[in-house]
Amino acid sequence: MKRKTLTYIILLATISIAGALALQVFLLKNSYKYSEKQFRESVNVALKEVAWQILVANGNTQNFDSIVPVGMISDSYYIVTVDAIIDKELLKFHLIEEFKKHQLFTEFEFAIYNSANQLLEQETYINSKGEERISSYSFPESEYKNINYFAVHFPDRSSYFYTNMTIWYLLTGLLLMVLIFFGYTLTVIIRQRQLSEIQKNFINNLTHELKTPISSIALSAKILNDKEILKTPERLFEYARIILEQNNRLSANVEKVLNLASLDKNKLELNLEKIELNELFSDITGYFRKSDSGKKSQITLTTDKQPLFVIADKFHFSNLILNIIENGIKYSETTPEIKIDITHTDKNCMIRFIDNGIGISKRHRKKIFKKFYRIPTGNIHNVKGFGLGLDYVKKIADAHRWKIEVNDNPSGGSIFTLIITFKK
């Protein structure tokens, strides 16, 4: 899939998701408003019917059509005026029946106003099951002082709205699930494309890294196959040296790929042993100084003179150290300088690898330990590698339950810090 096509797909998908969400929010908002309107209308009709039943019980229905008995004080508080004596049990019965009839399945509270003593009395709470208890709600006083009325309060209307909007909640949940799945699918597509690009770069780098030593070995072997080479022993030794050097390079690259493949397939088994750090680092830096990269670099080792022991797999630990050193040398525009500083406390040991390379920006620091990832090098085009070294470093550190951190070097470059916790 072309990059431009993928960009259009992402753009259209984003617009579609945003449009679907906006439409659903609009419909949900309108549905809620409609439910509120329906609730108010149902309450008004039900309370008006209750007022009529009370007047019928008192035999006083002459003026019912000429008055407006129901007054809405707020969305959850109503006052119903009736010019008659109100019996609590009768009122309770009709309220429950009328609310059921109009599908108002929600808890409510009511109180009766007695105009004779001008007090709200018999404050009662009725739950959704029809069970009764004394209400704790403070019913506000009304402007009606000389007429009997009853007040109804709905403390929580959520059950009513939940019942009426269940289908909308289900549709909204379904839409969110679809959008999450769609977003996940899109993320997978983008991730797969990134992996495809990374693997493509890896194959190109691998092909280059393998072709170069193979070509050098083939050319040297062809020259050595000529009998005339025996007349110039110095040339014979030189081409033999080239073959050996390129063979070592080829073996190192193959070994690096195979090591990573074995780490992916199987759980790493460490051959743990007690290692003296000062001695190990002296051996590794001494060995590295004799290599081609080491001869062109400056490596400084600073350690405590007293012996310092850790429990580790010597083979993998040595490779970890060499990978970090090689990484610092690889990304340097000047003469590479690597300073290794070992300090410790009672609880842990910190090994700092300080280089003078091009540095690592913050946006790349979280990615450098991922397989195949390579930092863009700008104008530096001769940096060789597969993006496997630091992935190996992270895997070995994790296997030992160590920590590896990357920070800026104030003088330029990077500081890799390996934190080893001492095991009792």
135 plus 30 within the same structural domain: yes
For every residue of 357-413, DSSP letters joined together read SS---HHHHTTTTSTT-----TT-------S-HHHHHHHHHHHTT-EEEEEE-TTSS
pLDDT for the residue 108: 92
- Whole-number Å distance between alpha carbons of 175 and 325: 52
In a shared domain, residues 115 and 229: no
* 63 secondary structure, DSSP code: T
157 and 8, same structural domain? yes
Query: Largest Cα–Cα distance of the chain, in whole Å?
Result: 138
Could you tell me if residue 109 is inside a domain?
yes
Q: Cβ neighbours of residue 161 under 8 Å, at least 6 residues apart?
A: 32, 35, 36, 39
- The pLDDT assigned to 383 comes to 52
**Does any domain span residue 170?**
no
pLDDT of residue 387: 60
Domain co-membership, 212 together with 122: no
Task: Give the C-alpha separation, 295 to 116, whole Å.
Answer: 109
The domain boundary residue, chosen from 265, 292, 320: 265
| 176: in domain | no
- Domain final position from 248, 265, 282: 265
| CATH code (residue 222) | 1.10.287.130
Domain shared by 43 and 129, yes or no: yes
The separation between the first and the last C-alpha atoms of the chain, rounded to the nearest angstrom, is 54
Cβ–Cβ contacts within 10 Å for residue 104, how many?
21
Helix pair angle (277-289, 314-330), 10° resolution = 50
Alpha-carbon 91 to chain mean position: 56
**Residue 178 maps to a domain:** no
Residue 175: inside a domain: no
Q: Contact 420/310 with Cβ under 8 angstroms?
A: yes
Q: Token digits for 58?
A: 């008192």
Match 């195979």 to its residue by tokens: 258
Examine the domain organization and report whether 136 and 157 are in the same domain.
yes
CB 422 within 8 A of CB 400: no
Give the pLDDT score at 267. Answer: 62
Nearest C-alpha neighbor of 320 from the set 375, 395, 374, 257:
395
One domain, residues 158 and 294: no
* CB-based contact 112:82 (threshold 8 Å): no
Q: Is 179 a member of any domain?
A: no
- Under DSSP, the state recorded for 67 is S
d(CA 190, CA 181): 14
Answer yes or no: do 31 and 145 share one domain: yes
Please indicate, yes or no, whether residues 15 and 67 belong to a single structural domain of this protein: yes
Nearest one of 155, 140, 160, 136 to 73, comparing CA atoms: 140
Report the distance separating Cα 108 and Cα 48, nearest Å. Answer: 16
Supply 298's token pair. Answer: 């400056």
- Asked if residues 409 and 356 have their Cβ atoms less than 8 Å apart, the reply is yes
Q: Is 421 helix (H, G, I), strand (E, B) or coil?
A: strand
Contact criterion met (CB below 8 Å) for 150 and 82: yes
What's the CATH number where 286 sits? Answer: 3.30.565.10
User: How many residues does the structure list for the chain?
Assistant: 424
50 closest CA partner among 88, 107, 105: 88
For the chain, 424 residues long, the average pLDDT of each consecutive 10-residue run is 69 79 80 82 89 83 66 86 85 90 87 84 85 87 82 81 71 79 79 71 65 78 80 81 79 67 63 89 82 77 84 87 84 84 88 86 74 58 59 86 87 88 74
Residue 47 lies in a domain: yes
Token pair belonging to 142: 């009304």
Q: Would you state the pLDDT for residue 244?
A: 82
**Does some domain include residue 169?**
no
Instruction: Please check whether residues 252 and 299 belong to one and the same domain.
Output: no
Which pLDDT score is estimated for 153? 92
Last residue of some domain: 240, 265, 290? 265
Structure tokens at 134: 């004394």
Phi and psi at 240, nearest 5°, equal: -65, -40
Domain limits at 194? 190-265
Q: What is the dihedral of CA 112, 116, 117, 122, to 10 degrees?
A: -20
Could you tell me the CA-to-CA distances from 226 to 163, 222, 236, 239, 378 in Å, in that order?
94, 7, 10, 12, 44
DSSP 338: E
d(CA 22, CA 14): 12
The number of folded domains in the chain is: 3
131 with 220, same domain: the answer is: no
Asked whether residue 236 falls in the same domain as residue 290, the answer is no
Cα–Cα distance for residue pair 243/233, rounded to 1 Å? 15
